[in-house]
């Protein structure tokens, strides 16, 4: 099993927000492709750590969402395309933690 998955939706009706469209910004034709990647980060111990890592990774172009969990050290990143792991590593380093790789 890989830590990276690609999902896609097409069509203009229906979403998580309403039956007629989406409240999310992005493609206006209703078609989206996203990549979800789970990374292992060492050194996170609390909510402050989660926020620091989330903030830095969120600054990478193409990132849609980030969820960091200190208890497991896992950071789930949803992006419009696969991210350069070195960019993620640099963001995690800037936050003061270490990227161990993909979970």
User: Which residue segments constitute the domains of the chain, with CATH numbers given?
Assistant: 33-102 (3.30.70.100)
Locus of tokens 């600054």: 59
Q: What's the confidence (pLDDT) of residue 7?
A: 54
pLDDT digit string, tens, across residues 44-67:
999 999 999 999 999 999 999 999
Question: How many residues does the structure list for the chain?
Answer: 103
Q: Exposure string (b/e) for 71-89, b if CB count within 10 Å is 16 or more?
A: eebbbebbbeeebeeeebb
Q: What's the confidence (pLDDT) of residue 24?
A: 44
Per residue of the chain (103 residues), give pLDDT as tens. Answer: 445 555 554 443 443 443 444 444 444 444 568 999 999 999 999 999 999 999 999 999 999 999 999 999 999 999 999 999 999 999 999 999 999 999 9
């Amino acid at each position: 099993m890989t830590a990276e998955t690609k999902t896609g939706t097409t069509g203009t009706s229906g979403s998580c927000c309403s039956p007629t469209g989406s409240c999310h910004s992005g493609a206006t034709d209703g078609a989206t492709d996203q990549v979800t990647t789970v990374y292992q980060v060492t050194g996170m111990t609390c909510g402050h750590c989660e926020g620091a890592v989330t903030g830095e990774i969120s600054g990478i172009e193409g990132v849609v969402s980030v969820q960091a969990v200190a208890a497991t050290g896992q950071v789930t990143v949803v992006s419009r395309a696969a991210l350069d792991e070195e960019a993620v590593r640099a963001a995690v380093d800037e936050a003061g933690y270490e990227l161990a790789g993909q979970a």
